[in-house]
């Protein structure tokens, strides 16, 4: 009975090593200083990803600390939560002096103010502050009111 348990234990260790090798094949290793893209929920912003830089790695727990242009994110992320940017040609200056949540970073870096795409559903000419685009100081776009040809806020 003890021989069977030892055999099971060694085979389980071999299987774990194979799983680690397979994982490294699909998810490349990252280092401190690498640029990554962090997916953002669609309801939060118009941009699908937040570009960040890895500033610290907790090797014991395999967690990564990320920083964006708005500041250091106060959540640690596992490796499967973000994608590595292999050849980053854009020079992004990350701030290390401020700690904030992902939602706060997204709203600070958002062009439209933070909470998703601003769009109106007006049937009029979009000339008053009843139009959410006009009220926000934005021009109406193709996501707004589709076939409304009377819109004057374009």
Q: Is residue 151 part of a domain?
A: no
- Are residue 21 and residue 36 in the same domain, yes or no? no
Whole-angstrom distance, CA of residue 124 vs CA of residue 116: 23
Whole-angstrom distance, CA of residue 144 vs CA of residue 120: 5
Number of structural domains, the chain?
2
- Are residue 23 and residue 61 in the same domain, yes or no? no
Does the pLDDT value for residue 22 go beyond 90? Answer: no
Name the average pLDDT for the chain. 84
- Single pTM value for the model: 0.61
Whole-angstrom distance, CA of residue 35 vs CA of residue 69: 12
Beta bridge partners of 99: 72
- Are residue 41 and residue 105 in the same domain, yes or no? yes
Over range 112-132, report the average pLDDT: 76
- Are residue 3 and residue 69 in the same domain, yes or no? no
- Are residue 43 and residue 70 in the same domain, yes or no? yes
Cross-sheet strand order for the sheet of 99-100: 83-84, 35-39, 49-58, 63-67, 72-78, 99-100
Domain hosting residue 4, numbered range = 1-27
Pairing mode of beta strands 99-100, 83-84: unpaired
Does the pLDDT value for residue 145 go beyond 80? Answer: no
Does the pLDDT value for residue 20 go beyond 60? Answer: yes
What is residue 111's predicted lDDT score, i.e. its pLDDT? 66
């Amino acid at each position: 009975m003890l021989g069977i348990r030892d055999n099971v234990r060694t085979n389980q260790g071999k299987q774990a090593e194979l799983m680690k090798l397979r994982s490294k094949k699909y998810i490349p290793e990252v280092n401190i200083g690498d640029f990554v893209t962090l997916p953002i929920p669609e309801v939060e912003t118009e941009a699908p990803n937040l570009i960040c830089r890895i500033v610290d790695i907790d090797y014991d727990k395999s967690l990564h600390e990320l920083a964006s242009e708005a500041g250091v994110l106060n959540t640690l992320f596992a490796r499967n939560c973000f994608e590595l940017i292999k050849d980053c040609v854009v020079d992004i200056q990350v701030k290390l002096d401020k700690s904030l949540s992902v939602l706060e970073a997204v709203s600070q870096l958002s062009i439209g103010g933070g909470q998703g795409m601003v769009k109106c559903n007006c049937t009029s000419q979009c000339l008053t502050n009843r139009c959410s685009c006009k009220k926000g100081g934005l021009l109406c776009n193709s996501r707004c009111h589709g076939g409304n040809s009377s819109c004057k806020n374009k």
